[in-house]
Amino acid sequence: MFMTFHDGQERARSTADTVARRSYGKLVAFLAVRTRDVAAAEDALSEAFASALADWPRNGCPSNPEAWLLTVARRKAIDMARGRRRHENAGEQLRVMAESLDAAAAESEIPDERLALMFACAHPAIDAGIRAPLILQVVLGLDAAMIASAFLVSPVAMGKRLVRAKDKIRQAGIPFSIPGRNELPGRLDTILGSIYAAFAEGWTDPGGTDVARRNLTEESFFLARLVAEMLPQEPEALGLLALMLHAEARRRARRSADGEYVPLAEQDPALWDWEMIEEAEALLLAASHWKAIGRYQLEGALQSAHVFRRRTGRGNWPEVVQLYDALWAICGSPVVAINRALAIAEIHGASAALDVMPSVSADGRLAEYQPYWATRAELLAKTSAHEEARHAYEIAIGLERDPAVRRFLEKRLSRLPLGPAC
């Protein structure tokens, strides 16, 4: 069948998009590990994609587009390095770099060094606040504007921070390697925390209408699966993936047909993705075999407990409180304390829960934390402290960004009796 140049362009663009989605991080990692320069690796690969979009419509898409791109990017990387160092006595370094690139590319398969790239991005020398965005950009190829939108930072500020972080990797000689057993826990915690932070940002758009946040959720899953597959002996990597699967499994149930927010206790389990839930349960079981409990396994176990309660109709609140106790012992987060208080309310009542709730005076961060005020309002309402509950609801509504959740809180507020309780 006769193919027009336009058809060739469409096929080239489609092939390039597929390769970018599947192999961008793998190709960047290959180049960065050998050039020791993340920004240069990205630039070289960008040039290779541009060459592909010019060449493939005329000559057809290659049978192995990843290898084609790598060949072009390798040459671009060497040319760029030669141009930057032409005034330096860098001949030996260039020769070693070129030999390293050529030798690795000669292998039958492109070595997958994305995990080493992630560990470089998660190095303690990199500012903690930029590690997650850096991983998302260099491993997944998301642009600064998309990342900035998801992390509520201006594109210009995000772009500058990403550039500084890449410069830091090059200037400080940060190694592209998986650290030894003695360094692995802290570094792996950074990677898992970065992935979970990105997932949480994507999770703030439960309806999936925000393209940037929807992509962020998808890419966070990609990274979580990658780490779990490459480090199957690390139970916390399995626990994080299980936690994310449990949360994602309930996405459809978090909104009614008309877009209103539905809390967990009122969700229809028939809308949950039970295939995801079964996968999450299998991952938690696999993680438990290593007998090294951690934060993400406990959070995944809590999600599992909620599923068990809805599936069987049997209360398991004492077990839930025990899980929160264990989680509190590990991380001491006020978020854990708030959720623990809600579980205690189910056993001992709202007054007992209010007694164990953290206070704003003890942790100033709670003053701007919407779930704290929403939880406090709910508990106060159950004790008939209506005026205090009204005040807490008003603060929670003012802090909430999601219109559906805001409407849910406003309905709760409207149900409070007017005037003080008798």
Q: Which of 112, 132, 164 is the last residue of a domain?
A: 112
Residue 383 lies in a domain: no
Domain assignment of residue 336, yes or no:
no
| Residue 270 located in a structural domain | no
Under the banding of pLDDT at 50, 70 and 90, the label for residue 281 is very high
Per-residue model confidence (pLDDT) at position 153: 83
In a domain, residue 141? The reply is: yes
pLDDT tens-place string over residues 386-420: 999 999 999 999 999 889 999 999 999 999 987 65
Instruction: Write down the pLDDT at residue 296.
Output: 97
Residue 145 inside a domain? The answer is yes
Q: Which domain holds residue 179?
A: 113-202+210-231
Same domain? For 105 and 117 the reply is no
> pLDDT tier at 244 (50, 70, 90 boundaries)?
very high
Are 104 and 65 part of one and the same domain?
A: yes
418 vs 131, residue with greater confidence: 131
Q: What is the DSSP string of 111-179?
A: ---HHHHHHHHT-TTS-HHHHHHHHHHHHH---HHHHHHHTT--HHHHHHHHHHHHHHHHHTT---SPP
Note whether residue 38 is domain-resident.
Answer: yes
Using the 3D structure, point to which of 74, 89, 112 is the last residue of a domain.
Answer: 112
**Are both 90 and 133 inside the same structural domain?**
no
- Bigger pLDDT: 75 vs 319: 319
DSSP letters for 174-186? ---SPPPTTTHHH
SS3 category, 261:
strand
How many domains in the chain? 2
- Of the pLDDT bands very low, low, confident and very high (cuts 50, 70, 90), residue 205 is low
Tell me how crowded residue 397 is: count the other CB atoms within 10 A of its CB: 20
- Examine the pLDDT at 366 and tell me if it is beyond 80: yes
Q: Report pLDDT for 2.
A: 47
Rounded to whole angstroms, the Cα distance separating 267 from 195 reads 27
Q: Is residue 282, in this structure, part of any structural domain at all?
A: no
Q: Tell me: the pLDDT tens digits for 148-202?
A: 877 778 899 999 999 999 999 999 999 988 887 777 777 888 899 888 888 887 7
pTM across the whole model: 0.78
Residue 124 shares a structural domain with residue 214: yes
Please indicate, yes or no, if residue 181 is contained in any of the structural domains.
yes
Name the range with the highest mean pLDDT among 9-23, 73-87, 401-415: 401-415
Boundary of a domain, candidates 45, 77, 112: 112
pLDDT at 125 over 80: yes
User: Over pLDDT 70: what percentage of the chain?
Assistant: 88
CA distance between the termini of the chain: 84
Query: In the predicted model, what is the mean pLDDT of residues 259-271?
Result: 93
Are residue 8 and residue 70 in the same domain, yes or no? Answer: yes
| Residues 175, 226 within the same domain | yes
Please report, to the nearest 10 degrees, the dihedral formed by the alpha carbons of residues 300, 303, 308, 310 taken in order.
-170
